[in-house]
């Protein structure tokens, strides 16, 4: 009862050998009614058989500890039709049950060793051509399928971005990876349809299409009536998706390969020719349970399981072939037996191959090292582009907000692939006007408003990056990125790792960040938690403290994203956007000249050492550096205390040994961290000092309270202030206040 794989295997073999197979009810229409050829039908059957037998082999290997992830495609083999209909140039974001689609697509590439490659992925051997043994994924650079793992609809938002990029690249004359007549498509399950990411993607596609903006995209829902153990309500997919005015609905019987082929052909034809999104529901059945560890009998009766098994799509395809006299029962049986022998033979070789054996091997693709392209030379008229701002740039100094605007202007002038988008960023120029004038300078196809949905913003950025664009999305406030952190954590950040650096999605995510806005807006607009960024391997996180650094660091992030495909998060301290003065009104000591030389930048991890002192050093970043500079004057004038300040600039990727060496030069270290004490960067810095400093300095933290930010002056009570820094320094030195 428990080994359903063996039972399904035996049932299918018995079925193929039955003498009375031809006498069973015929197919509803003659084969001539369909556009599929005899050769294509036989090829699809071979694909379905290969997919089924790989499922079974994966379970056999799992029993001997040689396979580790047994999500089955059994029952979903009708998706082979999508592999046949779609073009190699159509980027596909796949569901984990799409082995047959993947196999059929590989047949468009002569010489592709699909069985070998899939078994290598199942067995997590280094020879796995997509992930290098890091995970069982369906993905291939040459087949134009970015790798996906256990995605629960998180890949749908980037499919929208990829589809949007196709006509956008054509309109902007951008050298893209997909041709102008390509289609993007994504596949997912009926349970995944209910996920917030799926609803976000569908709503975004609806919103785009409603405005008649081209979006050649096919959503493919594989409806098998189950979400692990939870039944999908009857006809939920059809009734929830068929009424859209902007996304055309198609459906088919996924057990019938002819019906699936015809519906898929129509869906792709519609998306390709109309350049509009469509939704294709393929009604399937789930065999072999949710995964290898799933005991289906806990939540389904034996009768329900056997009823599903009687609907085996391979039986339907075999019957069509026999009834049209394309092959005999013996020939079909030979296909099954010979494919099984071939898989067994290849598996025997694969399971003894090398696996990952060191942390260095595992982590090597986390920091992409392969340069994808070179930053283009300056070929635009800067003076004409900046207009009236150009004269001011040559004569005046500016706060951070204006300098960032100038930096974005130069970046977009140099990189025609750069797109800036987000909530309110076009005509309004963003909440804080950082993107002011950019739409006028570069047009609405390069600078555009998004809908109010951070998941769609980041998902769109990932998809655009897949097709050669350089996305610079803006998240309006730091707290808002929590709504969409899985797009960063589960999708953008992992791509290089799971593709062994073959795929990257370089982007620079600008985030208006942190607190000190005099309590404006409360905690949603004054969020001081950056913990979600710090544990993302390979992601660059920048946090400048002044305008000149902000320009140089933004350029560095753009270079890393453009040339190496790095994912960068650029945290912009909102309170410092307009800041002009440091000590007194009108002193203009927090205004800086615009670094006009575009080669001027600050390398990732390069911290700034400000001053000298063997007695005490302040280690800080962002608003903390600004406050520490204020504290320095008070400490010098009132207490005759001289301090050294280190501005980290980068929240990740800094050289720990170099930083530890520098901190060791001081007897005392005060860490000023504006974020909450729990989960703050200061915790990691304390550990770094303990591990890297010799001799070990006396160290103390001054952090934000473990509190949300209230309104008004009360905000100052839970955030480090200038006087707090003064008090802590004096206390550390044993002086009297």
Sign of CA dihedral 628, 634, 636, 640: negative
**pLDDT tier for residue 611 given thresholds of 50, 70 and 90:** very high
* pLDDT one-digit tens code per residue, 345-374: 999 999 999 999 999 999 999 988 889 899
Average pLDDT of the segment spanning 424-452:
96
Q: Reply yes or no on whether the pLDDT at 87 is more than 60.
A: yes
Q: Where are the alpha helices (DSSP H) in 293-399?
A: 302-309, 313-323, 329-350, 359-363, 382-386, 389-395
**pLDDT tier for residue 297 given thresholds of 50, 70 and 90:** confident
CA distances from 96 to 150, 290, 610 (A): 7, 11, 52
Q: Reply yes or no on whether the pLDDT at 518 is more than 80.
A: no
Topology adopted by domain 4-363: Rossmann fold (3.40.50)
CA dist., res. 182 & res. 164, Å (int): 11
DSSP string, 636-695: HHHH----EEEE--BSSS--HHHHHHHHTTSSEEEEEEEEESTT-HHHHHHHHHHHH-SS
Topology adopted by domain 382-576: Rossmann fold (3.40.50)
Q: Tell me if residue 561 falls in helix, strand or coil.
A: helix
Q: Nearest-CA neighbor of 503 among 466, 539, 528, 532?
A: 466
Check residue 526 and give its pLDDT.
84
Check residue 548 and give its pLDDT.
98
Q: Delimit the CATH 3.40.50.920 region(s) of the chain.
A: 608-732
560 against 306, higher pLDDT:
560
Q: Delimit the CATH 3.40.50.970 region(s) of the chain.
A: 4-363, 382-576
CATH architecture group of domain 608-732: 3-Layer(aba) Sandwich (3.40)
Query: How many percent of the chain have pLDDT more than 90?
Result: 84
Average pLDDT of the segment spanning 58-68:
90
Q: Reply yes or no on whether the pLDDT at 384 is more than 90.
A: yes
Chain position carrying tokens 């986390």:
366
Pick from 289-303, 476-490, 611-625 the range whose average pLDDT is largest: 611-625
Average pLDDT of the segment spanning 515-528:
80
Query: How many percent of the chain have pLDDT more than 70?
Result: 97
Rounded to two decimals, the pTM is: 0.95
Check residue 170 and give its pLDDT.
97
Least confident piece of the model among 21-25, 288-292, 320-324, 652-656 = 21-25
**pLDDT tier for residue 1 given thresholds of 50, 70 and 90:** very low
**pLDDT tier for residue 519 given thresholds of 50, 70 and 90:** low
**pLDDT tier for residue 31 given thresholds of 50, 70 and 90:** confident
């Amino acid at each position: 009862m428990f080994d359903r794989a063996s039972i399904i295997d035996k049932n299918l073999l018995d079925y193929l050998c039955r003498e009375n197979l031809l006498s069973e009810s015929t197919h509803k229409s003659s084969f001539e009614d369909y556009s599929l050829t005899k050769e294509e039908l036989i090829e699809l059957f071979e694909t379905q058989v290969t997919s089924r037998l790989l499922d079974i082999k994966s379970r056999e290997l799992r029993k001997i500890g040689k396979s580790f992830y047994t999500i089955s495609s059994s029952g979903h083999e009708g998706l082979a039709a999508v592999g046949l209909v779609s073009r190699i140039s159509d980027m596909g974001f796949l569901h984990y049950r799409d082995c047959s689609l993947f196999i059929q697509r590989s047949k468009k590439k002569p010489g592709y060793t699909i069985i070998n490659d899939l078994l290598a992925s199942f067995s997590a051997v280094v020879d796995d051509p997509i992930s290098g043994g890091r995970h069982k994924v369906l993905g291939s650079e040459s087949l134009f399928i970015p790798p996906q793992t256990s995605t629960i609809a998180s890949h749908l938002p980037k499919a929208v971005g990829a589809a949007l990029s196709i006509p956008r690249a054509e309109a902007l004359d951008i050298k893209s990876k997909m041709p102008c007549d390509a289609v993007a498509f994504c596949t997912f399950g009926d349970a995944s349809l209910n996920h917030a990411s799926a609803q976000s993607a569908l709503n975004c596609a609806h919103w785009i299409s409603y405005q008649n903006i081209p979006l050649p995209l096919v959503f493919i829902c594989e409806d098998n009536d189950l979400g692990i153990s939870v039944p999908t309500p009857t006809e939920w997919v059809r009734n929830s998706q068929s009424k859209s005015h902007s996304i055309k609905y198609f459906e088919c019987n996924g057990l019938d390969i002819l019906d699936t082929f015809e519906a898929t052909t129509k869906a792709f034809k519609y998306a390709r020719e109309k350049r509009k999104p469509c939704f294709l529901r393929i009604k399937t059945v789930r065999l072999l349970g949710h995964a290898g560890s799933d005991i289906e009998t806990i939540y389904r009766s034996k009768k329900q399981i056997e009823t599903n098994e009687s609907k085996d799509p391979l039986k339907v395809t075999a019957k069509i072939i026999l009834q049209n006299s394309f092959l005999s029962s013996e020939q079909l049986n030979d296909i099954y037996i010979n494919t099984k022998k071939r898989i067994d033979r290849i598996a025997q070789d694969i399971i003894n191959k090398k696996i990952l054996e060191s942390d260095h091997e595992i982590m090597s693709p986390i920091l992409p090292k392969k340069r994808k392209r070179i930053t283009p030379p300056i070929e635009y008229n800067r003076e004409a582009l900046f207009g009236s701002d150009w004269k001011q740039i040559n004569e005046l100094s500016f706060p951070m907000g204006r300098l960032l605007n100038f930096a974005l202007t130069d970046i977009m002038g140099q990189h025609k692939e750069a797109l800036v988008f987000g909530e309110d960023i076009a005509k309004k120029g963003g909440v804080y006007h950082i993107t002011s004038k950019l739409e006028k300078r570069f047009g609405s196809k390069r600078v555009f408003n998004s809908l109010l949905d951070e998941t769609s913003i980041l998902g769109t950025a990932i998809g655009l990056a897949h097709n050669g664009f350089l996305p610079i999305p803006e998240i309006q406030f730091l707290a808002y990125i929590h709504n969409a952190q899985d797009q960063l954590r589960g999708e953008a950040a992992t791509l290089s790792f799971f593709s062994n650096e073959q795929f990257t999605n370089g982007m620079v995510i600008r985030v208006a960040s942190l607190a000190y806005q005099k309590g404006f807006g409360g905690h949603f607009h004054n969020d001081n938690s950056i913990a979600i960024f710090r544990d993302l391997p390979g992601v660059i996180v920048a946090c400048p403290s002044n305008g000149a650094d902000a320009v140089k660091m933004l350029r560095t992030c753009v270079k890393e994203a453009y040339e190496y495909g790095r994912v960068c998060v650029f945290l912009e301290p909102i309170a410092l956007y307009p800041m002009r003065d440091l000590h007194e009104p009108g002193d203009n000591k927090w205004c800086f000249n615009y670094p006009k030389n575009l080669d001027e930048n600050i390398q990732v991890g390069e911290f700034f050492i400000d001053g000298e002192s063997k007695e005490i050093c302040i280690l800080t970043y962002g608003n903390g550096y600004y406050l520490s500079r204020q504290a320095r004057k008070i400490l010098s004038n009132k207490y005759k205390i001289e301090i050294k300040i280190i501005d980290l600039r980068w929240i990740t990727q800094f050289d720990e040994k170099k930083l530890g060496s520098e901190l060791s030069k001081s007897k005392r270290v005060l860490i000023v961290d504006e974020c909450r004490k729990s989960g703050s960067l200061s915790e990691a810095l304390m550990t770094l000092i303990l591990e890297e400093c010799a001799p070990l300095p006396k160290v103390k933290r001054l952090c934000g309270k473990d509190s949300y930010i209230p309104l008004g002056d009360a905000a100052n009570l839970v955030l480090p202030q200038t006087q707090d820094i003064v008090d802590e320094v004096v206390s550390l030195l044993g002086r009297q206040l």
